Amino acid sequence: MSARDTDWDGVRLHVVTGKGGTGKTTVAAALALALAAGGRKVLLVEVEGRQGIAQVFDIPPLPYEERKIAVAPGGGDVYALAIDPEEAMLEYVEMFYGMRRAGKALSKIGLVDFATTIAPGLRDVLVTGKTSEAVRRRDRAGRRVYDAVVMDAPPTGRITRFLNVTTEVAGLARIGPVKNHADLVRGVVASPETAVHFVTLLEEMPVQETLDGIESLHEAELPVGGVFVNMVRPELLPEAALDAAADGGVDPGELALGLKAAGLAEGAAGASEIAEALAAEVTEHARRTALERRERESLALARTPQYELPLLPEGADLAGLYELAEALCSQGAA
């Protein structure tokens, strides 16, 4: 199908990273649904072995094979793949050396785990290589099998090293199949067809990690995508009221009188107790809102598109994923 008018026209590999606890996997899943909307076919890839995709979509653990897991709005399909580094290595041995049977023998005696333990860069090349193959894959008619691929990638602190495969394997092999494979992966990951997106919360540590991660990608000449601000709470009061409350301008006495006049509390003691609790909540909300505004200003320094996803009161269940996907589409992220 033809590309839609989005902020990421031409991007076919969407790498999603973020600090732990920011909802990275949930956002990756919602992005896959959004990209598939309208009849497209999207592959959602997991590389950390946590079975996070299965948990988010409430399905059994995924095997090492691509399988359909969801239907997107408008009839698109989302497929998923949980990449197993050992299986990826067996594929690699067969692809480049024609030795899958020997590879299985090596696996049985533990050499596969040994190799990827002493050379973690090789493990990263294997899992990114599998993803890159899905991006490049075509059917017999020469059409791309997937309109887009979304990778639920490692956390922000490890993302540059994970993607910078050419550097990571430089000490392992300067020539031969490993080097050629790494160069092929780099050709996809560093191309304009790839975007590395960051998931954050409006909190100091996730925002700082996001800014550091973006700078690190720029230094490695890897393509920076957008910033997805997750779990955004609505501002419940007018700006003037929030500013006053943040400065301690909430008078419990006035609140008590208002509650009593509105018939929402009985007696002075009851009104006073409710007013004290309400004043504390309003002050907390105002101060949190002020903090979130400051973090938004910090994120603006990244000079990259930003998208806001609402805090889901019922949690990130399947219905919530579709709500997030709709929010991404409405903001031009997909």
User: What pLDDT does 167 receive?
Assistant: 73
- Domain for residue 294, yes or no? no
Under DSSP, the state recorded for 17 is: E
Residues 273 and 320 in one domain: no
- Domain for residue 73, yes or no? yes
- Domain for residue 4, yes or no? no
- Domain for residue 304, yes or no? no
- Domain for residue 6, yes or no? no
Rg (CA), the chain: 24
Helix 85-97 to helix 100-108 angle (10° resolution) is 140
Count CA within 13 A, CB hemisphere, residue 132.
20
Domain around 260:
239-288
Q: What is the total count of domains within the chain?
A: 2
Q: What is the pLDDT of residues 93-145, one digit of tens each?
A: 666 555 545 545 555 545 456 555 555 667 788 788 889 999 999 999 999 99
CATH of the domain at 191: 3.40.50.300
Residues 102 and 250 in one domain: no
Question: Which residues are CB-neighbours of 219 under 8 A, at least 6 positions away?
Answer: 160
Query: What string of DSSP letters covers 193-247?
Result: TEEEEEEE-SSHHHHHHHHHHHHHHHHTT--EEEEEEEEEPPP-S-HHHHHHHHT
Residues 169 and 66 in one domain: yes
- Domain for residue 68, yes or no? yes
Residues 99 and 219 in one domain: yes
User: What pLDDT does 95 receive?
Assistant: 61
Residues 148 and 221 in one domain: yes
Tell me which residues of the chain have a pLDDT lower than 50. 1-2, 100, 103, 109, 111
Residues 47 and 127 in one domain: yes
- Domain for residue 213, yes or no? yes
Residues 119 and 264 in one domain: no
What is the 3-state composition of the chain as percent helix, strand, coil, each rounded to the nearest 5?
A: 50, 15, 35
User: What pLDDT does 134 receive?
Assistant: 95
Query: What string of DSSP letters covers 136-171?
Result: H-B-TTS-BS-SEEEEEPPPHHHHHHHH-HHHHTTT
Residues 229 and 244 in one domain: no
Residues 267 and 193 in one domain: no
- Domain for residue 174, yes or no? yes
Residues 18 and 132 in one domain: yes
- The amino acid present at 159, given as its one-letter code, is I
Residues 223 and 244 in one domain: no
Residues 46 and 176 in one domain: yes
